[in-house]
């Protein structure tokens, strides 16, 4: 099977290489001279899709050169016939020729002697390739060169690189080129899947061996398979949220540019990012494949190829989310058998935080994957304490910390617990207690494995300066992120916020069930050894949260792994009770059914995100030459298909100057910027007719009746819930305008009053 897959992917790659025009063949043929008269042989010849003075200077590799000239020649493929307007702006000499015969005058011309540095002219173009030539000369002063066109019904913009080619033979319709680019991107995706296949296969084989060794019967195996199918559906549903697009809506999602920087430096020579490096190495697999395809000319950079890359990065989180559920199931089997393990893994699956982070390219799901494997090793140390278990704990703990630094908190108290366990075993064997337990070969093996793994992950041999820079950046961020004061009152506030985060992540029913499971474990002597699993949770709270003094729901994902197991145990206790069996079954069914709908609500919010409709409305209804402002940042705003808007960072200052024809507002984010000064609130200002704006469109996607998370105050409220990123999905988006819009656009933007 593996050979067949490899041959298929290789064959598709060869076909893509043969039929896809090289991206290197896009652009015009550029000739660059070190004189102002285009005299003699050019100093350099290269393709370029950008025509500016900095491009010329880079080509000539002489930033101090005073006199130089350049000429770009090739073809512009017009996909849609119609009336186009070309414009050239230059404070030196520039000439633009369009479909020109020998000796014909320039279509556009500017010079330093003209009163205006800009020249423009309309023309009707047929579909197909058109020869163009752009010439620029600079004898002294001058640093401006800009060539743009305005398509029919469009906005003034640079000539699109997909429409440019250096010769007639390589002139291809941009639409056809995009189709071929899509095919090439899918082939790149197939290579990514092939490269990820090996580690996924290793984990699956290991997991199935663990399941086989656990002695599951046919019914348990069927139940596990059903849970796996449900998990794959819940984790993958919504993975395309915000795609295609140039930027992401998921806060703190790792971008491809961060990985590209690391690859360029081989993750050495001082390279670092805010997060620990392990997951950057993992994400380098899809990014390296896409980069190779781009550099070899099979792919050009557009929203499709960027989205394929981000989709692959998110898919890794999906796989690690499924791996986390598998590890949780194995922990449950170690504790009490397959039935409680199934209910524990299901309780974890039905948590909104897992469903959300299992489909974004954040580091949260990956670090919890390694964390859950370390919990499995810890439980096995509690039960057996073999050398292999200690080594597994050391490796997986180092991997968790090497993915997200704050994971260290889970392990500060664990060595003391391991020492205590070893001391208890020695006492049971009748051996005297002494400091010799510290030098037990199993404990030393685990410690050495942790140290070696940590050093390898952080590349200390070749990137010590990067490690130091990373630690400093992390500490600076922690100092600046504190939400509560370092006082008793501050610790109380932190405790309340932590419970709120846990409750939001679990929902009320599952939270109560988890608490009941802990109480039941304390009351039953035969289960009390399960409480060792609370050691990492207590350690994390005391040594991390109580130190940094801030918390978000994603910080509690590791704790939810453990608490879900206690919830699963309580569910089985209810089901096995002899009295009121029908009521007990109904209660457990209601709790798990409610929790499943609560988790699925996240996916519904993603697939119905109102920003999709808002972005489509902006592209359709805002005129080409209108000025567009956006209050917020890329995390909070729709995708804009046309030229990027002006981002309004300080509304209280920038709204005072009436420079925008349209303003797009994420209302929740705008309320974050409210000021106590009268009229300083952005929404208050824009809703005041005296300032010239009126609301012309509103987008707020309703949720179905069964999406129970929609009843949460954090989702229904009109202000941001600061403990989670989940309420940032599907925000109300409003468009304000100074002038009128068409009746069709007014009707399309008239969302009902849903909030």
pLDDT tens per residue across span 164-214: 888 776 666 666 666 776 777 777 777 788 888 889 999 999 999 999 998
749 has pLDDT over 80: no
User: Looking at the predicted structure, is the pLDDT value of residue 21 above 70?
Assistant: no
Q: What is the pTM of this model?
A: 0.84
Q: Which of 262-266, 276-280, 301-305 has the lowest mean pLDDT?
A: 301-305
List all residues 6 or more positions away from 413 whose beta carbon is below 8 Å from its beta carbon.
535, 536, 538, 539, 542, 543
What is the pLDDT at residue 258? 83
414, two tokens: 């664990």
Q: What's residue 523's pLDDT?
A: 93
Closest to 636 measured CA to CA, from 248, 363, 257:
248
Residues 6+ apart with CB under 8 A from 347: 510, 513, 514, 564, 565, 567, 568, 571, 592, 595
Say what the pLDDT of residue 723 is: 84
Interstrand relation of 662-666 and 628-631 (parallel, antiparallel or unpaired): parallel
User: What pLDDT, on a 0 to 100 scale, did the predictor assign at position 599?
Assistant: 95
Instruction: Give residue 7's pLDDT.
Output: 53
pLDDT above 50: residue 284: yes
CB environment 72-84: b (16+ within 10 A), e (fewer): bbbbbbbbeeeeb
pLDDT(629) > 70? yes
* φ/ψ of residue 100, rounded to 5: -90, 140
Q: What is the pLDDT of residue 498?
A: 93
pLDDT for 754 equals 39
Determine what percent of the chain is predicted with pLDDT higher than 90. 42
Q: Which tokens go with 24?
A: 């290197």
Residue range 30-47, pLDDT digits in tens:
999 988 888 889 988 888
Per-residue pLDDT, 17: 47
Mean pLDDT of 590-613: 94
User: pLDDT band at residue 755, thresholds of 50, 70 and 90?
Assistant: very low
Kindly compute the dihedral angle of the four CA atoms of residues 444, 448, 454, 456, in this order, to the nearest 10 degrees.
Answer: -170
- As a whole number, mean pLDDT of residues 361-365 equals 94
pLDDT at 301: 64
Mean pLDDT of 359-378: 96
C-alpha distance from residue 384 to each of 343, 390, 430, 525 (Å): 24, 10, 17, 19
Mean pLDDT to the nearest integer, 594-599: 96
Of 20-24, 324-328, 624-628, the range with the highest mean pLDDT is 324-328
- CA–CA gap between residue 249 and residue 251 (Å, rounded): 6
Confidence tier at 655 by pLDDT (50, 70, 90): confident
Least confident of 221-235, 519-533, 608-622: 608-622
Contacts (Cβ under 8 Å, ≥6 apart) of 189: 308, 311, 312
pLDDT at 644 over 90: no
Q: How far apart are CA 229 and CA 210, in angstroms?
A: 19
Question: What's the fold here for domain 23-171?
Answer: Toxin - Anthrax Protective Antigen; domain 1 (3.90.182)
Distance CA 27, CA 167 (A): 10
Tell me the pLDDT band of 404, cut-offs 50, 70 and 90: very high
Question: Bigger pLDDT: 184 or 595?
Answer: 595
List phi, psi (to 5°) of 627: -90, 135
Q: Whole-angstrom Cα distance, residue 182 to residue 164? A: 18
Average pLDDT for 329-335: 96
Question: Is 363 a residue whose pLDDT tops 90?
Answer: yes
- Weakest mean pLDDT among 148-162, 379-393, 430-444: 430-444
| Helices 218-236 and 338-349, packing angle to 10 deg | 10
Whether 661 shows a pLDDT value over 80: the answer reads: yes
Q: In this structure, what token pair is assigned to residue 699?
A: 């987008």
pLDDT at residue 459 tops 80: yes
Query: For residue 438, how many other CB atoms are within 10 A of its CB?
Result: 12
Instruction: Give the mean model confidence (pLDDT) for residues 355-362.
Output: 95
Alpha carbon distance 422, 476 (integer Å): 38
Average pLDDT, the chain: 85
Average pLDDT rounded to a whole number, residues 344-372: 96
Nearest to 442 by CA among 373, 386, 382, 378: 386
């Amino acid at each position: 099977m593996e050979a067949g897959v490899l041959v298929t992917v290789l064959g598709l790659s060869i076909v893509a290489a043969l039929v896809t025009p090289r991206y290197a063949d896009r652009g015009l043929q550029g000739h660059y001279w070190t004189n102002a008269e285009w005299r003699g042989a050019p100093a350099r010849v290269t393709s370029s899709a950008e025509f500016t003075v900095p491009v010329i200077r880079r080509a000539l590799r002489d930033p101090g050169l005073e006199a130089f000239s350049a000429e770009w020649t090739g073809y512009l493929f017009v996909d849609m016939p119609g009336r186009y307007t070309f414009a050239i702006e230059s404070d030196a000499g520039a000439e633009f020729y369009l479909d020109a015969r020998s000796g014909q005058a320039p279509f556009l011309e500017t010079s330093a002697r003209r009163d205006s540095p800009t020249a423009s002219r309309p023309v009707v173009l047929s579909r197909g390739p058109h020869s163009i030539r752009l010439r620029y000369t600079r004898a002294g002063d001058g640093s401006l060169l800009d060539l743009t066109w305005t398509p029919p019904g469009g906005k003034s913009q640079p000539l699109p690189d997909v429409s440019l080619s250096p010769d007639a033979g390589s002139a291809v319709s941009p639409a056809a080129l995009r189709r071929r680019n899509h095919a090439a991107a899918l082939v790149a995706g197939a290579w990514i899947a092939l490269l990820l296949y090996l580690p996924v296969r290793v984990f699956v084989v290991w997991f199935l061996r663990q399941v086989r060794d656990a002695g599951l019967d046919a019914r348990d195996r069927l139940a596990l398979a059903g849970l796996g199918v449900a998990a794959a559906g819940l984790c993958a549903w919504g993975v395309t949220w915000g795609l295609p697009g140039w930027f992401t809506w998921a806060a703190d999602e790792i971008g491809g540019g961060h990985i590209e920087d690391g690859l360029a430096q081989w993750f050495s020579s001082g390279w670092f990012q805010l997060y620990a490096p392990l997951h950057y190495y993992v994400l380098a697999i899809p990014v390296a494949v896409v980069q190779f395809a781009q550099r070899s000319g099979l792919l050009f950079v557009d929203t499709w190829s960027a989205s394929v890359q981000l989709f692959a990065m998110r898919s890794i989180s999906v796989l690690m989310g499924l791996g986390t559920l598998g590890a949780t199931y194995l922990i449950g089997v170690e504790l009490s058998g397959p039935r409680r393990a199934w209910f524990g893994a299901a309780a974890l699956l039905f948590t909104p935080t897992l469903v959300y982070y299992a489909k974004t390219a954040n580091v949260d799901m990956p670090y919890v994957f390694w964390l859950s494997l370390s919990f499995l090793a810890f439980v096995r140390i509690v039960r057996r304490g073999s050398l292999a278990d200690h080594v597994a704990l050391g490796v997986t703990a180092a991997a968790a910390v090497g993915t997200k630094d704050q994971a260290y908190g889970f392990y500060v108290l664990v060595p003391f617990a391991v020492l205590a366990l070893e001391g208890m075993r020695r006492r049971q064997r009748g051996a005297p207690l002494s400091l010799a337990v510290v030098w037990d070969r199993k404990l030393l093996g685990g410690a050495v494995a942790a140290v070696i793994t940590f050093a390898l992950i952080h590349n200390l041999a070749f990137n010590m300066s990067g490690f130091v820079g990373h630690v400093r950046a992390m500490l600076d961020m922690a100092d600046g992120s504190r939400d509560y004061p370092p006082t008793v009152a501050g610790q109380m506030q932190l405790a309340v916020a932590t419970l709120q985060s846990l409750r939001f992540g679990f929902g009320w029913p599952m939270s109560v069930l988890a608490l009941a499971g802990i109480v039941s474990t304390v009351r039953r002597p035969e289960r009390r050894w399960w409480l060792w699993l609370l050691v990492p949770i207590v350690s994390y709270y005391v040594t991390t949260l109580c130190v940094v003094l801030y918390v978000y729901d994603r910080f509690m994902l590791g704790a939810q792994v453990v608490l879900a197991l206690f919830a699963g145990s309580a569910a089985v206790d209810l089901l096995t009770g002899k009295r009121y069996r029908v009521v007990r079954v109904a209660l457990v069914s209601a709790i798990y059914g409610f929790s499943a709908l609560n988790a699925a609500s996240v996916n519904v919010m993603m697939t119905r995100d109102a920003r999709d409709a808002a972005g489509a409305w902006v592209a359709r209804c805002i005129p080409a030459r209108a000025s567009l402002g956006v209050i917020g940042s890329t995390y909070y705003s729709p995708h804009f298909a046309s030229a990027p808007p002006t981002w309004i960072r300080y509304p209280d200052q920038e709204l005072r100057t009436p420079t925008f024809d349209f303003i797009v507002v994420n209302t929740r984010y705008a309320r974050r910027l409210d000021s106590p000064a009268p009229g300083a609130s952005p929404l208050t200002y824009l809703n005041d007719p005296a300032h010239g704006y009126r609301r012309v469109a509103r987008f707020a996607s309703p949720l179905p009746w069964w999406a129970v998370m929609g009843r949460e105050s954090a989702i229904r409220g009109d202000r941001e819930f600061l403990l989670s990123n989940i309420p940032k999905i599907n925000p109300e988006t409003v468009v304000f305008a100074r002038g009128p819009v068409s009746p069709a656009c007014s009707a399309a933007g008239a969302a009902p009053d849903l909030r």
